[in-house]
């Protein structure tokens, strides 16, 4: 038996991840945004993303890059992106947005980022409609999902008027009509930024949900779990009450950078590749546990091609959100974490209602002084995969505090009769991908499985049967948490 730091685990393998081409279904998406502004080079990314097992990619269409001469459309650059992704088994989905200086005066950026066609007169509105029809006709049979505009509730992406949900609803109706005139089966989406508030509620109460097939919430937050259950429940309830019971909820854009520039809105940030990777793991686990159909991490590679311009400002050094380094296009720690997430949540892994409880009986004495918030700060989520129960847990502490981990916690898990029994329980570390056999466990009268002397970390750990996932055997080695 392998024991280190009093944690009874025996390393037996490394989680094996499939490539995108071998995955039939998965909620795992990557941000492939900002190519309309040529903010990074896509060519070095394709094979790496496919090898990570990513299944979706959010791509911005860029009217200004597609129509540089009035009435003439050049989709060559976007064709290349779509073809390269598709042939590797990655499904592109389009974010349709932003303006065109050919039809607009005084745009802040050369790509007219955030400039809304509604506010520039009849010629611009007609040009927008013609562009959308041409875009849809060109990509018919290749693209099915069209998200209309990006973060219309904030000034950076809604110019020159103040954002309001009524105008956004008008833009959705107009644009979706053009798309569906060419692709009747198209799936239409809308979105809002992470600032979930009155804008989103008023939009969903406007009746626009009847036009939509999916709705994206952008979940930027230092702690991915914070208020998330309440926000998703409110989105679901508001959709259901306003003609949107059929609408899927997606998490369309969220991330955490490995480096932040001075003056970034999170000024106290302690950036690192490890913090980025931990955030990524917690974002995906939280999204999928809450029934999110597609979850997208921003983004594929650091945007270092040029200055980053939005509708009303310029950032010479944008935060480095990529899972690939923007200079050398080499994998970061978050890339490895992405491989593990893709392996765990590919195919038929679904959220499940299963009992799971974490106890601190041996981790610390009830007589010693410690923060009792630690005891209730553990997040527990359950899933099923091919009839195997999968249990996940982690401490929802801000990862910037550098939680060192806790040992010897105890966990009670439900043994549900209609699921496959957990006969050979293992612990999967989603940060390292290591698979370890749990040595100290008992079955309690076929109702619970009780595991002792397990670690607690601020990133997700999984407990499941060894047969639930594929893993590659490890040579004899020692591991610690």
Q: What pLDDT sits at residue 266?
A: 58
Q: What's the residue count for the chain?
A: 481
User: What are the tens digits of pLDDT across the range 128-175?
Assistant: 999 999 999 999 999 999 999 999 999 999 999 999 999 999 999 999
- Between CA 27 and CA 290 the distance in angstroms is 12
> Is the confidence at residue 16, as pLDDT, over 70?
yes
pTM score, two decimals?
0.94
> Is the confidence at residue 363, as pLDDT, over 90?
no
User: What are the tens digits of pLDDT across the range 424-469?
Assistant: 999 999 999 999 999 999 998 889 999 999 999 999 999 999 999 9
Which of 203-207, 236-240, 338-342, 347-351 bottoms out in mean pLDDT, i.e. has the lowest?
347-351
pLDDT-based confidence at residue 376 (cuts at 50, 70, 90): confident
- Between CA 320 and CA 134 the distance in angstroms is 34
Domain ranges of the chain: 3-16+349-473, 20-344
Q: What pLDDT sits at residue 309?
A: 77
3-16+349-473 and 20-344 share one CATH topology? no
pLDDT-based confidence at residue 7 (cuts at 50, 70, 90): low
More confident residue, 403 or 286: 286
Q: What pLDDT sits at residue 443?
A: 92
Q: What pLDDT sits at residue 417?
A: 93
- Between CA 425 and CA 435 the distance in angstroms is 10
> Is the confidence at residue 67, as pLDDT, over 50?
yes
pLDDT-based confidence at residue 360 (cuts at 50, 70, 90): confident
Q: What pLDDT sits at residue 475?
A: 67
Phi-psi region of 38 (alpha: psi -120 to 50; beta: other; left: phi over 0): left
- Environment class of residue 78 by beta-carbon count within 10 Å: exposed (0-12), middle (13-18) or buried (19+)? buried
> Is the confidence at residue 478, as pLDDT, over 60?
no
Q: Measuring CA to CA, which residue among 346, 405, 341, 400 is closest to residue 378? A: 405
> Is the confidence at residue 2, as pLDDT, over 50?
no
Tokens of 322: 């990529």
CA-CA distances (angstroms) from residue 196 to 96, 191, 193, 250, 257?
21, 10, 7, 14, 21
18 and 343 in contact (C-beta within 8 Å)? yes
> Is the confidence at residue 4, as pLDDT, over 60?
no
Largest CA distance in the chain: 76
432 and 421 in contact (C-beta within 8 Å)? no
CATH classification code of 20-344: 3.20.20.80
Segment 407-432 mean pLDDT: 95
Residue 266 CB partners (closer than 8 Å, separation 6+) = 222, 260
Distant-in-sequence contacts of 282-285, Cβ < 8 A, 24+ apart? 282/223, 282/224, 282/225, 282/394, 282/396, 282/399, 282/459, 282/460, 283/219, 283/224, 283/251, 283/254, 283/255, 283/256, 284/28, 284/341, 284/345, 285/341, 285/381, 285/392, 285/394, 285/430, 285/460
* Whole-number average pLDDT of the chain: 92
- Between CA 121 and CA 101 the distance in angstroms is 13
Tokens of 186: 């198209």
More confident residue, 100 or 313: 100
More confident residue, 382 or 263: 382
Tokens of 99: 């303006």
Helix (H) or strand (E) holding 351: strand 349-351
pLDDT-based confidence at residue 1 (cuts at 50, 70, 90): very low
Segment 236-262 mean pLDDT: 95
Segment 206-218 mean pLDDT: 97
Question: What fold is seen in the domain 3-16+349-473?
Answer: Immunoglobulin-like (2.60.40)
More confident residue, 21 or 370: 21
% of residues, the chain, pLDDT over 90: 82
Q: What pLDDT sits at residue 342?
A: 97
> Is the confidence at residue 365, as pLDDT, over 90?
no
> Is the confidence at residue 480, as pLDDT, over 50?
no
User: What are the tens digits of pLDDT across the range 296-350?
Assistant: 999 999 998 788 877 777 777 789 999 999 999 999 999 999 999 999 998 889 9
Q: Which residue has the tokens 């009035």?
A: 70
Which of 52-61, 260-269, 334-343, 419-428 bottoms out in mean pLDDT, i.e. has the lowest?
260-269
């Amino acid at each position: 038996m392998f024991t280190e730091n009093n944690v009874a685990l025996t390393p037996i393998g490394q989680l094996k991840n499939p490539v995108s081409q071998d995955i039939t279904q998965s909620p795992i998406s990557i941000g492939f945004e900002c190519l309309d502004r040529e903010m990074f080079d896509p060519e070095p990314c394709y094979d790496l993303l496919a090898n990570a097992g990513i299944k979706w990619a959010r791509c911005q269409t860029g009217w200004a890059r597609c129509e540089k001469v009035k009435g003439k459309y050049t989709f060559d650059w976007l064709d290349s992106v779509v073809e390269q992704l598709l042939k590797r088994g990655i499904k592109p989905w389009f974010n349709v947005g932003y303006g065109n200086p050919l039809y607009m005066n005084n745009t802040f950026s050369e790509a007219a980022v955030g400039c809304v066609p509604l506010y520039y007169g009849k010629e611009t509105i007609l040009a927008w409609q013609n562009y959308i029809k041409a875009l849809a006709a060109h990509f018919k049979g290749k693209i099915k999902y069209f998200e209309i505009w990006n973060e219309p509730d904030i000034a950076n992406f809604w110019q020159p008027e103040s954002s309001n949900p009524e105008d956004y609803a008008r833009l959705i109706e107009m644009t979706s009509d053009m798309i569906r005139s060419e692709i009747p089966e198209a799936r239409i989406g809308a979105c809002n930024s992470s600032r979930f508030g009155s804008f989103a509620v008023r939009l969903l109460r406007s009746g626009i949900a009847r036009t939509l097939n999916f709705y994206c919430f952008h979940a930027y937050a230092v702690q991915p779990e914070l208020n998330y259950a309440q926000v998703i429940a409110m989105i679901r309830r508001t959709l259901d009450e306003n003609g949107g019971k059929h609408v899927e909820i997606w998490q369309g854009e969220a991330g955490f950078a490995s480096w932040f520039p001075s003056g970034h809105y999170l000024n106290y940030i302690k950036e690192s590749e490890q913090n980025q990777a931990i955030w990524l793991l917690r974002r995906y686990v939280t999204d999928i546990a809450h029934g999110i159909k597609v979850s997208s991490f921003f983004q594929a590679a650091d945007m270092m091609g040029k200055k980053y311009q939005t509708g009303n400002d310029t950032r010479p050094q944008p935060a480095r959100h990529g899972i690939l380094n923007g200079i050398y296009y080499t994998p970061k720690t978050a890339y490895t974490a992405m491989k593990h997430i893709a392996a765990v949540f590919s195919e038929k892994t679904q959220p499940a209602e299963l009992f799971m409880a974490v106890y601190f009986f041996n981790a610390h004495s009830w007589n010693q002084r410690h923060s009792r918030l630690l005891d209730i700060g553990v997040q527990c989520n359950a899933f099923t995969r091919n009839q195997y129960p999968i249990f996940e847990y982690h401490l929802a502490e801000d990862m910037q505090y550098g939680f060192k981990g806790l040992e010897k916690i105890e966990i009670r898990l439900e043994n549900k009769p209609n699921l496959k029994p957990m006969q050979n329980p293992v612990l999967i570390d989603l940060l390292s991908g290591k698979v370890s056999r749990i040595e100290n466990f008992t079955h309690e009268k076929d109702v619970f499985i009780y595991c002792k002397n397990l670690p607690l970390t601020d990133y997700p750990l999984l407990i499941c049967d060894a047969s639930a996932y594929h893993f590659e055997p490890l040579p004899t080695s020692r591991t610690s948490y």
